[in-house]
Structure 1
Amino acid sequence: MFIRGCSYLGSITGMCTGSCRFPRGIHTGLEKIFRRMGVMRNITVQNVARDYFGSLAYRNLSDVSRQSYAYNIETALNTRVEGQLLGYMKANTLRIPTAQKAYHRWAERKGKKTIPFANHVKASMNKAFNHAIQVGLIENNPFSKITLLSHNPRKKVWQVDQVKKFLQTAYDKFEYRSVGVIFHLMYVWCQRPGDIRLLTFDQYDFDKKVLTLQQSKRRAEVYLPSNDEIHKILVQQKEDIGFQKYVAPKIIRGEVTSEPYCKITLGTKARKIREEAGLPSDLWIMDMRRTGTTEMVEAGVPIGQIMSVTGHANPQSLKPYMKNTLTSATEACRLRLKAGGGGIL
């Protein structure tokens, strides 16, 4: 409309019809604009993902974060919405309602409500689309405008006897041994599964009995002492499988590999151990960080010292671990009485 006298086809192909009324410089600029618009129209969601995977921003992420983002984005690309895979849809014309439908699919994955997972996938797609906007591939990010579903944060904590039962079952079979070690270290050191499953022997000082760990989520560095039980397990692992670098590598059909467990395989094998141990299905391996941290809170460990273990930078982040339990209430009342309060008669 605003290029009267010059055909649209001529502009995007560089072949002017000869009737253009604009100076050559303006005409050349219009050609570039239309070429860019033509390219942008053809960019698919899959193209956006590929460009993000090749970006410096993605390469600078930790190994754990890269794996997590890749899995989340792959899930999104293979989501069928409105009769078509999301990955094949045009990115620049992807509407908010379509992105919202995809989000709802993620939130009810495999017939189960998985709102936290859906939020992670949404956040990963948000990163990819924002990167595409920054490099000029697309102009809009529909994932930044969708409405998130509300959910109650998970608060499940394992009991000590349940932890023991899981470990007894895991250590009873060589096939489960690495998963048992991962579970054990998560519980004792209150760390995330992603950081523990990728642990290497060179991160542990066998002389000082100290693990140095840079956490993947916020790059916090923590120094974790091992008790005699954990040190003995690490020494045994080094002796038995020290030919490769991982503390708890993947074991397939009784054979030790040189690869770490991925998030999915670890969860699958942990569920098998839980079932064989006869434990409730609402217990997840990811609960170990919360379980160990809650135990420290209930034991009266000062907040600053807990943060030295968990790597939290803000005391407010520990609020979810401060549960209202009979143990903590009993201890609070005991300390109050000891200080001279609460006793009237």
Structure 2
Amino acid sequence: SGNVPFGTITSLHESPLRFGQLAVGTDDGLIEISRDGGNTWNALTSPIPQNTKRNELLWVSEVLWSHHHEQRLYVALNGYRLDHFDSWIFMTENDGRTWTRLGGNDLPCEPVNALAESASREGTLFAGTDGGAYVSFNDGSNWSAIHPDLPAVPVHDLVIQERENELVIGTHGRSIWVLELDAMWKHWDASELWSDAIPAAFVLSEIETIEFDEQWGERGWSWSEPRDVTADVDAFSPEPITAHWVITNDSTETTWIGDTIQLFRGWQSLSIPLKLQTSPEVEFIQPGSYIVSLYTDSATPLATSSLLIGTKDD
């Protein structure tokens, strides 16, 4: 039947730390909490003044109690119906008497539709907007794009599957995406807080062993292009950079491989081309042990990782 304007509950959440502690948000800007299972309710002051006289009221797109602090409540407001496209995410720890805005300078001007918080990693938040999904490792102070493969599409829901440590992303028109979170936090000790462990330098994960195939570069069909052969690696960049790959063999011979690549700030998946040249004929990296380095304009590599190309007999 479509949306019923005003007076509709748009978000409901129960605290994972306290039974019966509820929060609701509505499409006319109301935020209310209950600590007795819904028998009584208290209205919170809105993080942003609402224009009730003109019915210019912001949609409360998400209310979310924290997994780590009983009194902490996250709230996302959405103003797309009023042509307000700011990314409004707020936090309160005193029942709305004061609010803190999260990530106002890092998030683009995209209405926020969904929030999620990691139960296993304190300080890790996820936000879904009309333009994609974003992650913060320090309680929302800083944000970065979540993954380059996720299209620029409205994200309407975020759920963390804690057992598999996966983030399930529900989009508008581009299906459901699942992101494995292990790559984001396998570089830190489990006892560390994300707020104390944000990498200050570039991080490059280990590369899984690649099995060499004599059919690399062959066409699947006579009219098709040869398939690219790559090794995949996860990386964290503290800032946007331009870089290129260099591979070093056992004889310390170095070769520039692939084209210049662009990296954004945050975690991302990178592909290392295993093709050395494109003309006059294609030559692929042969079985053996290598060091793969990522360089910018500096003579010192930004990061390195080991690459092992084996054979079927290994």
Q: Same fold per TM (> 0.5)?
A: no
Decide which structure has greater strand share: 2
Q: Higher relative contact order at CA 8 Å, sep ≥6: structure 1 or structure 2?
A: 1
Q: Which has the larger radius of gyration?
A: 1
Q: TM-score, normalised by structure 1?
A: 0.22
